[in-house]
């Protein structure tokens, strides 16, 4: 008997090995596919219907359409936030063109200014908030709204963003619709702590503050976490039992290891993670999913203690992130959502046959005993050819 998409994911989340491998193709903003790569993939597999919708402006990600999702074996659909990037809602769309000339749809509120050099500038009111150089596949955030904050009193005069009633209505209606699809529903929440500070203050300034101004950091964390803890009950009430996974994010790692020490994580960051994650575990059936890039092995025991149940993207190319060791050490406590193909240092230069062998070996490591949802490490970039994308996913589909 063939299992259903949601059942495969639920079995994996429960650390039961499903009869068929659970697969995520584009089910969240870090398991996705660049719109240019998606357009090439559509053409390669002969899908001419539908339209490419670029729902994530920042990363230029496409929303997988049902026909493509089924061809790739995807078991997961995403409940987006109303404004996934740069405060622009995704309820209305307009025609546009990708950098390679492919027609697409973008959020109707996206109105960048093009410079004579071909760069794109994105403004909020009169403030420049992001740029997309002509040579880049992405928009780069350039505005740090708290850059001039120096005291707790300065912070108290700033605004903490909350979920609006409009967004709650959108979440309620969309979650109910997605539940009827038969796919597992992954709901994006956010709840960033470290990353929020890096964006609000600027990366270098905030990393300095963590060591030199911990009290100001704590005051900032308390303020944003109070906002998250006000939002979470309303968010969970809106989505109800129509979601299976709730996604938080905080990139704590780098290529060479954690960005901060375990001690600093425990003292400065963990309490604010733990408050959110434990609230969800107490008040929802949804699994707590953390997107956390980099070599985070030393922090994983603390993340588990904080309440993390699912780890993504499982960056196996980073220091200390050996797949077999991760599975052996943490496989009973964590679901690995990702880690199925090294998109950073292997896939770009490998042959198609080498990619297939690579994926088989990783599935053999992560899949036994459940606790694994297949996905490549992070998003598929614009320069990945469709032949390699199919090599990755068709190899995963061998387990169906």
DSSP track, 336-366: EE--SS-TTTTTTTS-HHHHHHHHHHHHHHH
User: Of 262, 251, 260, whose CA–CA distance to 292 is shortest?
Assistant: 251
Q: What is residue 40's predicted lDDT score, i.e. its pLDDT?
A: 99
Q: Is the pLDDT of residue 151 over 90?
A: yes
Sequence spans of domains, the chain? 5-29+73-82+144-397
Distance of CA 232 to the CA centre of its chain: 18
Cα separation values, 371 from 193, 212, 302, 356, Å? 26, 40, 19, 22
Q: Is the dihedral of CA 378, 379, 381, 386 positive or negative?
A: positive
Q: Which residues contact 261 (CB under 8 A, 6 or more apart)?
A: none
Residue 205, burial from CB neighbour count under 10 angstroms (0-12, 13-18, 19+):
middle
Both tokens of 377, joined, read 């490490």
Per residue in 357-367, pLDDT (tens digit) is 999 999 999 99
Q: Assess contact for 371 and 363: CB atoms under 8 A.
A: no
* The model's pTM: 0.97
Q: In what order do the strands lie in the sheet with 372-373?
A: 76-79, 184-190, 245-249, 287-291, 310-312, 335-337, 372-373
Three-state DSSP class for residue 40: helix
Q: Mean of the per-residue pLDDT values for the chain?
A: 98
Per residue in 88-146, pLDDT (tens digit) is 999 999 999 999 999 999 999 999 999 999 999 999 999 999 999 999 999 999 999 99
Q: Is the pLDDT of residue 311 over 60?
A: yes
Long-range Cβ contact pairs of 355-364 (< 8 A, separation 24 or more): 355/388, 355/391, 355/392, 355/395, 356/391, 356/394, 356/395, 359/391, 359/392, 359/395, 359/396, 360/395, 360/398, 362/316, 362/323, 363/21, 363/395, 363/396, 363/399
CATH number of 5-29+73-82+144-397: 3.20.20.210
pLDDT confidence of 3, banded at 50, 70, 90?
A: confident
Q: What is the mean pLDDT of residues 294-313?
A: 99
Q: For tokens 């990393």, what's the residue?
A: 207
Q: What is residue 1's predicted lDDT score, i.e. its pLDDT?
A: 55
The distance in angstroms from the start CA to the end CA of the chain is: 11
Q: Which residues contact 140 (CB under 8 A, 6 or more apart)?
A: 130, 131, 132, 133
Percentage of the chain beyond pLDDT 90 is: 99
Instruction: Spell out where the chain has E strands.
Output: 54-56, 61-62, 76-79, 93-97, 103-107, 113-114, 120-124, 127-132, 140-141, 184-190, 245-249, 253-254, 257-258, 287-291, 310-312, 335-337, 372-373
Per residue in 176-232, pLDDT (tens digit) is 999 999 999 999 999 999 999 999 999 999 999 999 999 999 999 999 999 999 999
Separation CA 89–CA 112 (nearest Å): 15
Q: What is residue 42's predicted lDDT score, i.e. its pLDDT?
A: 99
Q: Please, what is the angle between helix 214-239 and helix 194-201, to 10°? A: 120
Separation CA 209–CA 224 (nearest Å): 16
Residue 373, burial from CB neighbour count under 10 angstroms (0-12, 13-18, 19+):
buried
């Amino acid at each position: 008997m063939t299992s259903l998409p949601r059942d495969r994911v639920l079995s994996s989340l429960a650390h039961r090995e499903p009869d068929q491998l659970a697969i995520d193709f584009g089910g969240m903003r870090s398991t996705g596919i660049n719109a240019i790569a998606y357009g090439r993939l559509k053409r390669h597999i002969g899908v001419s219907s539908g339209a490419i919708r670029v729902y994530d402006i920042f990363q230029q990600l496409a929303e997988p359409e049902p026909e493509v999702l089924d061809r790739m074996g995807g078991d997961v659909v995403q409940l987006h936030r109303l404004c996934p990037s740069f405060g622009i809602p995704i309820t209305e769309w307009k025609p546009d063109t990708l950098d390679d000339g492919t027609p697409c749809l973008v959020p109707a509120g996206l109105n960048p200014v093009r410079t004579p050099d071909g760069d794109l500038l994105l403004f909020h009111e009169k403030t420049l908030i992001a740029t997309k150089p002509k040579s880049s596949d992405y928009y780069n955030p350039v505005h740090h709204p708290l850059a001039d904050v120096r005291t707790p009193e300065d912070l108290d005069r700033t605004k903490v963003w909350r979920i609006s009633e409009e967004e709650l209505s959108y979440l309620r209606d969309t979650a109910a619709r997605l539940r009827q699809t038969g796919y597992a529903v992954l709901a994006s929440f956010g709840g960033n702590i470290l990353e929020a500070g890096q964006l609000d203050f600027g990366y270098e300034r905030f990393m300095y503050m963590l060591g030199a101004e911990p009290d100001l950091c704590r005051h900032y964390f308390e303020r944003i976490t109070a906002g998250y803890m006000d939002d979470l009950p309303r968010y969970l009430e809106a989505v109800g039992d129509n979601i299976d996974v709730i996604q938080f994010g905080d990139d704590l790692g780098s290529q060479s290891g954690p960005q901060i020490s375990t001690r600093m994580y425990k003292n400065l960051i963990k309490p604010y993670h733990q408050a959110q994650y434990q609230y969800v575990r107490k008040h929802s059936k949804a699994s707590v999913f953390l997107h956390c890039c980099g070599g985070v092995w030393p922090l994983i025991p603390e993340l588990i203690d904080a309440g993390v149940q699912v780890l993504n993207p499982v960056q196996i190319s980073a220091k200390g992130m050996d797949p077999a060791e991760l599975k052996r050490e943490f496989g009973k406590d964590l679901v690995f959502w990702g880690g199925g193909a090294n998109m950073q240092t292997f896939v770009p230069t490998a042959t198609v046959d080498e990619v297939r062998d690579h994926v088989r070996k990783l599935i053999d490591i992560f899949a036994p005993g459940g606790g694994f949802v297949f996905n490549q490490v992070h998003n598929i970039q614009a320069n990945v050819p469709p032949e390699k994308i199919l090599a990755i996913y068709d190899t995963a589909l061998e387990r169906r």
